[in-house]
Amino acid sequence: MNNKFVGTDAIMRRAMLKGCGFDDADIKKKPHIGIVNTYNEGAPGHAHLNGIAESIKQGMMHIYAQLCKSADQGAGMTI
């Protein structure tokens, strides 16, 4: 388990994740991957970034699903 989510110092982090629908198994066993972009309505040059971030998110979800499938079949978890 990631130590950033253990103990009384991590109550607020766990509460935020649980409020978003994560359960204890999600918090303890799944990787925590954040995808950040600088999209905002005030910078026209950033208008495309939401689409790029969404594509990255979908790609990461696909890779994670493949890794879980490989692990369930007894294969190593390498990319």
* Cβ-Cβ contacts under 8 Å for 19 (sequence gap 6 or more): none
Q: Are residues 28 and 54 in the same domain?
A: no
Q: Are residues 8 and 45 in the same domain?
A: no
pLDDT reading at 77 higher than 70: no
CA angle at residue 37 from 13 to 2, to 5 degrees?
30
Number of folded domains that form the chain: 2
Q: Are residues 24 and 47 in the same domain?
A: no
Full domain range(s) for residue 9: 1-32
CA angle at residue 31 from 29 to 35, to 5 degrees?
155
Q: Are residues 75 and 55 in the same domain?
A: yes
Task: State pLDDT tens for residues 15-67.
Answer: 988 998 988 888 888 888 888 899 988 988 998 999 999 999 999 989 988 88
**What is the reported pTM?**
0.60
